[in-house]
Amino acid sequence: MADLEARKVIELGYGGNERLVMNMGPQHPSAHGVFRMILTLEGETIVAMDSVIGYLHRCHEKLGETLTYAQYPSIASKTDYVAAMTSELAYVLAAEKIGKIEVPKRAQYLRVLVGELQRIASHCLWLGTWCLDMGGALGGGATVFLYCFREREMVLDLFEALTGARLLYGFHQVGGTRYDLPEGWAKHCRETVDHIDRRIDEYESMLEANTPFLVRSQGVGVISRELAQEVGVAGPLLRGSDVDFDARRDDPYSSYPDFDFKIPVEAAGDCYARYRVRMQEFRESIKIVRQVLDGLPAGPISSRPGLKSVGQVRIPKGEAYARVEGPRGEVGCYLIADGGPKPYRMKWRGASFSNLSILPHIVPGHKVADVVAIMGSVDPVFGEVDR
């Protein structure tokens, strides 16, 4: 039903004589990658919006059929390149589900650790770019952006020490993880999250007493609870619309039940509610990281022997869907294995894709300036949308 309604608004038409059709993107400062919005305007008000995606399509799902279980995790990280750890984990979990492969406790804890650090890094990027959208590269937005990047760099330093890479890691592998913590890393990690914890207080005091920020985000882009569930948005968008769902708690994986954390939920459904959800998630992630470091068990990091060739991992016939709660919401991977070293078929469920499909429902009726604020609060990554 919601779909039909969106269609109706769009059919208001690209034809009226008082209307202006304006293209935003695919090359645009606030396109967050390559996204094209076709806006129909009456003055400053948007009466219809159509979106065009696909500029970043790289045949990820076909690639998944031609690469082996040992090779693909490093490629999986290129779907959502801002939160690379998440998609790797989804792929690996699906393969382990079919093969019924046990994962040692230490590896499970490490997976949680990098997953939560990745959430912190990704939310830093979100906060920076969102403020950049609202405040501009020549204003206060740029200030927030640079602060956030300063903190994100610290997390990336941790990842670099762990895996040797700063953006695309290849950390997970079927049966466990590829790397163990280097010496002194845990201490460094603790210092970093303590530091970020203090900085998050700074961001909050900077933004939440800032009237322009509040008037730009409160009451803008409201997603009702019903609409959120009908369109199938995920992650902070869903929880910002009063739906209490998080795959980490409701469909646990990687020994998440061992840790004590809250799932933040806000009722308002506007950009500010989504901001509040993500700010609280920062804190919860930091809490989880500390718990992991406290309780990290000793032992092997993989249940499988070290790899000697790329075709060594074979998964028996079967199919499975595994989901992971990424920074942007539920990232799912559906695998069909035929007993060989490569899957027969794979399918991604990207959180950004389903989140982006909310735009035509909520954008009409807003001003042009709100489009970028809403777009930023949705936080899409186009590697994951177009795959």
Partner 1 sequence: MIRHVITAFVLLNAIVLIVTYLTYVERKFAARMQSRIGPYRVGRPHGWLQPIADALKLLIKEDIVPALADRPVYNLAPIVFLIPSFLIFATVPFAPGLGLADLNIGLLFFLAVSSLEIVGLFMGGWGSNNKYALLSAMRAVNQIISYEVPFVLTALIPVLLAGSLKLSLIVEAQRGLWFVAYPVIGQLAFVMFLLATIASENRVPFDILEAESELVAGFRVEYSGMKFALIQLAEYTHMFGVSCLGALLFLGGWLGPGLPGPVWFLLKALFIFLLVTWVRWSFVRIRVDQILGLSWKVLLPATLALLMATGFWVALRSGHVA
CB of 323 to partner 1, least distance (A): 33
CB of 216 to partner 1, least distance (A): 6
CB of 201 to partner 1, least distance (A): 17
CB of 366 to partner 1, least distance (A): 9
Nearer to partner 1, 45 or 66 (CB): 45
State the Cα–Cα distance between residues 361 and 46, nearest whole angstrom.
Answer: 12
Nearer to partner 1, 140 or 340 (CB): 140
Amino acid, single-letter form, for residue 9: V
Nearer to partner 1, 52 or 146 (CB): 146
| b/e per residue 5-30 (b: at least 16 CB within 10 A) | ebeebbeeeeeeeebeeeebbbeeeb
Unique residue bearing structure tokens 């920074």: 327
Contacts to partner 1 by CB under 8 A = 20, 22-24, 28-30, 41, 43-44, 131-143, 146-147, 150, 206, 210, 212-213, 215-216, 367-372
CB of 222 to partner 1, least distance (A): 16
CB atoms closer than 10 angstroms to residue 269: 22
> Does residue 103 contact residue 174 with C-beta atoms inside 8 Å?
no
Nearer to partner 1, 43 or 164 (CB): 43
State the Cα–Cα distance between residues 127 and 130, nearest whole angstrom.
Answer: 5
Nearer to partner 1, 13 or 212 (CB): 212
Within 13 A of 69's CA, how many CA atoms are on the CB side? 30
> Does residue 83 contact residue 118 with C-beta atoms inside 8 Å?
yes
CB of 85 to partner 1, least distance (A): 27
Query: Terminus-to-terminus CA distance in the chain, angstroms?
Result: 27
Among 147, 100, 106, CA closest to 125: 147
Q: Name every residue whose Cβ is closer than 8 Å to that of residue 347 and which is 6 or more positions away in sequence.
A: 61, 333, 334
Nearer to partner 1, 43 or 182 (CB): 43
